[in-house]
């Protein structure tokens, strides 16, 4: 029996793995030929690697292709990897560039449709139906979050409330006035919404679905938001290099992993150091290939995100696309203290396991004469002590960071991504 209300594109979202692999194979062969024909930079990279477009056989030859990184985007800034003339570009977005030259992603009309389709599938997968009010709280601008959520909401025929970021009291009033059922945001901003709701003494009874991206989302944070707002919490996935938020996929109502849209992207999990493929179930770095994008299709782009393949079997939701685990961290976010490697997400997960601890925290990395130490600042209710925090973190992380408990409301609040790691030199 068909269930069109559950899917945006039921036929492709429930296609068999054999069908998806066959499609991936043909599209990959086409895309390698396409970029070699239409981009001199990529053609040079491939020729140096000994790739001959006419001889490339698809997935079985993918290991012969060089792996791309942000450095390639920065080396060719602004549009040196683009495969279409500038007069065919209809939109662009880019990364913040805080760690160097920004990454620019151009879009043709076809690319905008592809983005809207992927994001629209995510809305349907979360249970959003035509006419549902959706409040879009990521910023509208060069950052792709707001526009991606908007394009997808139009595709899914939702009632769009494009608030953008900031002005939290107004966000809450609008959600009440228009009976917002779905909202999208960075997850750290949601904790700010909850604080202001409590200060205003209001609830949002119509709110049922929260879709969060742009930050690593821990299980503990999802549970905390679900418990306070009573909403179903979704972790959406996508990045500038793949075309924006939602392009790669999202978890479904089964919440057993992130479905990656395999008709649009081919993924590999590789060892972060050797770049050799890892078997399903092992954690490694996600490498992504875009199969359908037109202006700038990335092929074997190393995302820096650490995850694993959970399942290739059909899901309880009915979808057949591969499921990966929640992103556990980024290769460039790993912190090393006293010989122990850990990620900020592990700190958050551990802190939120403690009763009385609130969502705001900071990791202060202090370097003195080449030696790193770490302090964890966290807001908590009276009765939670630094000793309790330190003891719990030692059990979870394997070493004893200094724990400092602050009154609720002490740490700075922001409307976008929260700054969790602060580095200080004490020399």
Count of domains for the chain: 2
Q: By the 8 A CB rule, do 249 and 118 touch? A: yes
**Both tokens of residue 424?**
């200080």
Domain shared by 415 and 364, yes or no: yes
CA separation for the pair 204, 206 (Å, rounded): 6
- What is the chain's Cα-based Rg? 22
Domain shared by 276 and 160, yes or no: yes
CA separation for the pair 230, 220 (Å, rounded): 15
CA separation for the pair 136, 160 (Å, rounded): 7
Give the end of a domain, one of 314, 331, 348.
331
Query: Domain range spanning residue 367?
Result: 335-425
DSSP 59: G
CATH number at residue 403: 3.30.300.30
pTM of the predicted model as reported, rounded to 2 decimal places: 0.85
CA separation for the pair 189, 209 (Å, rounded): 15
Domain shared by 356 and 307, yes or no: no
> What is the DSSP annotation of 304-320?
EEEE-EEE-SPPTTS--
For the cut 50, the answer to whether the pLDDT of residue 386 exceeds it is yes
> What is the DSSP annotation of 138-184?
SPPSSSSHHHHHHHHHHHTT-EEE---S--HHHHHHHHHHTT--EEE
Domain shared by 262 and 187, yes or no: yes
Burial class (CB in 10 A: 0-12, 13-18, 19+), 82: buried
CA separation for the pair 144, 415 (Å, rounded): 16
What SS3 class is residue 69? Answer: coil
pLDDT for res 99 = 59
pLDDT for res 1 = 45
CA separation for the pair 259, 255 (Å, rounded): 10
CA separation for the pair 136, 211 (Å, rounded): 10
The predicted-structure confidence for 64-85, as pLDDT tens digits, reads as follows: 999 999 999 999 999 999 999 9
Domain shared by 273 and 353, yes or no: no
Domain shared by 324 and 363, yes or no: no
Domain shared by 326 and 340, yes or no: no
Residues 6+ apart with CB under 8 A from 419: 362
pLDDT for res 425 = 75
**Both tokens of residue 195?**
């604080």
CA separation for the pair 89, 105 (Å, rounded): 10
The predicted-structure confidence for 118-148, as pLDDT tens digits, reads as follows: 999 999 999 999 999 999 999 999 999 999 9
Share of the chain above pLDDT 90, in %: 66
**Both tokens of residue 331?**
């290769």
- 282: closest CA among 309, 321, 319? 309
């Amino acid at each position: 029996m068909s269930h069109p209300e559950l899917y945006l594109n039921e036929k492709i979202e429930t296609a068999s793995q054999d069908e998806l692999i066959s499609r991936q194979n043909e599209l990959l062969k086409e895309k390698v030929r396409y970029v070699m024909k239409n981009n001199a930079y990529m053609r040079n990279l491939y020729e140096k690697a000994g790739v001959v477009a006419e001889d490339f056989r698809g997935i079985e030859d993918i290991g012969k292709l060089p792996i791309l990184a942000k450095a390639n985007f920065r080396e060719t800034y602004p549009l040196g990897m683009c495969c279409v003339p500038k007069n065919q570009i209809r939109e662009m977005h880019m990364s913040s560039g805080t760690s160097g030259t920004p990454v620019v992603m151009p879009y043709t009309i076809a690319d905008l449709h592809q983005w809207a389709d992927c994001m629209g599938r995510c809305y349907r997968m979360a249970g959003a139906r035509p006419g549902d009010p959706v409040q879009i709280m990521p910023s509208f601008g060069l950052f792709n979050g707001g526009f991606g959520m908007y394009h997808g909401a139009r595709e899914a025929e939702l009632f769009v409330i494009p608030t953008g970021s900031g002005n939290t009291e107004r966000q809450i009033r609008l959600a009440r006035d228009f009976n917002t059922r779905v909202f999208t945001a960075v997850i750290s901003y949601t904790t700010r919404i909850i604080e202001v709701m409590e200060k205003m003494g209001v609830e949002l009874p119509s709110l049922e679905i929260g879709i969060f991206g742009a930050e690593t989302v821990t299980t503990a944070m999802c549970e905390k938001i679900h418990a306070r707002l009573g909403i179903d919490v979704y972790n959406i996935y996508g990045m500038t290099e793949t075309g924006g938020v939602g392009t790669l996929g999202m978890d479904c109502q089964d919440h057993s992993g992130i479905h990656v849209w395999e008709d649009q992207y081919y993924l590999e999990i590789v060892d972060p150091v050797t770049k050799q493929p890892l078997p399903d179930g092992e954690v490694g770095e996600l490498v992504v290939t875009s199969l359908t994008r037109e202006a700038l299709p990335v092929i074997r782009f190393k995302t820096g995100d650490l995850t694993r393949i959970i399942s290739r079997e059909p899901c309880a939701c009915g979808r057949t696309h591969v499921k990966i685990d929640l992103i556990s961290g980024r290769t460039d976010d790993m912190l090393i203290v006293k010989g122990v490697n850990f990620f900020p997400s592990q700190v958050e997960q551990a802190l939120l396991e403690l009763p009385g601890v609130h969502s705001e925290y900071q990791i202060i990395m202090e370097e003195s004469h080449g030696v790193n130490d770490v302090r964890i600042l966290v807001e908590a209710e009276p009765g939670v002590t630094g000793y309790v925090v330190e003891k719990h973190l030692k059990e979870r992380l394997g070493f004893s960071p200094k724990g400092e408990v602050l009154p609720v409301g002490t740490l700075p609040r922001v409307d976008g991504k929260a700054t969790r790691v602060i580095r200080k030199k004490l020399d």
